[in-house]
Amino acid sequence: MIPFFEKHRPKTFNQIKGQDLAVAKIKEFFRNFSISNKKKALLLHGPAGVGKTTLAMVLANENECEIFELNASDLRNRAKLEEIMKPSTEQKSLFAKGKIILVDEVDGVTATDRGGLPELIVLIEKTKFPIIITANDVWQQKFSLLRRKTELVPLKEVSYSIVLNLLKDIVTIESKQVDEELLKGIAAKSRGDLRAALNDLQSIIYTEAQHVHKDHIHLREKAGDIFNALRHVFKTKTSSETTDIYHNLDMELDKIQLWVEKNIPYEYKGEELAKAYESLSKADIFKGRIYRQQHWRFLVYQNFFLSAGVSSSSRNKDPRSFTKYQKPTRILKIWMANRKNAQKKSIAIKYANYCHISKKRALKEFFTIALILDENTIRKLDLSDQEKLFLQDYKGALKVAHGLNKFVS
């Protein structure tokens, strides 16, 4: 039996629903592709079952190209790579058929030497054919270089109404009868994963279990997607599922806490905002207690306030609205500031000792002191290379920030 999601996979761009932006981008990418392009690869990223691979296939279909799919082991296989790259040029002249290289599910590729990411980067630089890459979570650290070398195209989850309409269409095409309430249930539980919805539909049609209650379709477990978890917490009605939402996630609770912290203001305003932060701050209190007392049961409370607590801050939620969630950056900022402050501090100490004042005062007056430290003084205070570099940057930045350069004669 062919799975529904294969059988009903769109063949043309017209049949793709709810991904207009991505469709436009991929068309444009293909139209403008040339060997001299800076970015010769398109990175389609988004949750599972929203049409990433389909997009690549439709692109090939509409432009009468062949698709060459590469996986991690192919990337490491030099011979295979050359085979794919080389004969195709000859082929192109023979059959006048273009070629698209597809690297599907790049998440599975590891960052180490043997994994294939470095090879993929080289391939992107050398390729004569457009490359389409798909990934779920493109924000992992190992992809930082890849992100720079490719054009990122985010795919949204398919909205509830589109999923529902597609389900209805397919039921009609298959000449079946399914209760509309049941279809609604499938659409809601799929949480934007079209493939999952089609699988559920198929299983119901073929088991003829058309009288199952919609609550019996199990909530799709989608591991590793913080975006889904946030969407659930912020946008859907608080339920018993809410408290479990982080369990499927391959992420520590403390890290999840940073994500929630970052994104609350993009969802809630005014009173809801205050309530949500109150819950978050309570989660944080329990986090502190866990560390101090080593009493791990408090995790239950940290999790509760972080999920149901934050979720229940709002009563009027709109599951169909879209919010662009942001990555937490605070920890990185703190780390960078500490590194900078370490230089600042050690310079201040050297100055303080030399000038008979306290460290504290030197730090407080660092702005003025930085300007005073010229070449000779720097030598006298025996500043390290790192300190010199910091001072140079610091002075340059403050001259620009405060418009001091106009006074230079």
Partner 1 sequence: MTEVNSSTIWTEKYRPSKFENIVGQQEIIKRVTNLTNSLNIPHMLFAGPAGIGKSTLAIIVAKELFKDFWKENYLELNASDARGIDVVRQEVKNFARTKSLGNVPFKIIFLDEADALTKEAQQALRRTMENYTGTCRFILSCNYSSKIIDPIQSRCVVFRFKLLEEKDIEKVIKKIAENEKLVIDEKSIETLYEGSEGDCRRAINLLQASASISPTITSELVNTLLSSAKPADIKVVLDYALSGDFDKSREKLLDVMLKESVSGTDIIKSIQKEIWNLDIDPELKVKLTEKTGEIEFRLVEGSDEFIQLEALLASFVLAGLGK
Q: How far apart are CA 363 and CA 342, in angstroms?
A: 11
Q: Which stretch binds partner 1 (CB under 8 A): 105-113, 148-156, 226-234, 364-372?
A: 364-372
Plot region of 70 (φ>0 → left; ψ -120 to 50 → alpha; else → beta): beta
Q: Which of 92, 156, 361, 388 binds partner 1 (CB under 8 A)?
A: 361
Among 28, 278, 318, 393, binds partner 1 (CB under 8 A): 278
Amino acid at 251: M
Distance CA 16, CA 44 (A): 15
Closest separation in Å from C-beta 276 to partner 1: 8
Beta bridge partners of 131: 41, 101
Binding mask 247-276 for partner 1 (x = CB under 8 A): ----------x---x---xx--xxx-xx-x
In the list 61, 128, 365, 388, the residue contacting partner 1 (rule: CB under 8 A) is 365
Site for partner 1 (CB under 8 A): which residue of 36, 79, 368, 382? 368
Q: Does 93 bind partner 1 (CB under 8 A)?
A: no
Q: At which residue do the structure tokens 């310079």 appear? A: 347
Helix, strand, coil % over all residues of the chain, rounded to 5: 60, 5, 35
Q: What is the rounded distance in angstroms from the CA atom of residue 91 to the CA atom of residue 96?
A: 7
> For residues 200 and 261, which CB has a smaller minimum distance to partner 1 in the complex?
261
Number of residues near partner 1 (by CB under 8 A): 55
Residue 357 backbone class (left: φ over 0; alpha: ψ -120 to 50; beta: rest)? beta
Q: Does residue number 151 form part of the binding site for partner 1 (CB under 8 A)?
A: no
Q: Which is nearer to partner 1, 315 or 403 (CB)?
A: 403
Interaction of residue 392 with partner 1, rule CB under 8 A: no
- The minimum distance between CB 309 and partner 1, in angstroms, equals 12
Q: Is 11 helix (H, G, I), strand (E, B) or coil?
A: coil
Nearer to partner 1, 57 or 363 (CB): 363
Type of residue numbered 105: E
Distance CA 267, CA 321 (A): 10
CA-based end-to-end distance of the chain: 82
Classify burial at 397, counting beta carbons within 10 Å of its beta carbon; exposed 0-12, middle 13-18, buried 19 or more: exposed
Site map 184..223 versus partner 1, x via CB under 8 A: ----------------------------------------
Residues that bind partner 1 (CB under 8 A): 257, 261, 265-266, 269-271, 273-274, 276-278, 280-281, 284-285, 287-288, 291-292, 330, 333-334, 337, 341, 351-352, 354-361, 363, 365, 367-369, 371-372, 374, 376-377, 380, 398-399, 401-404, 407-409
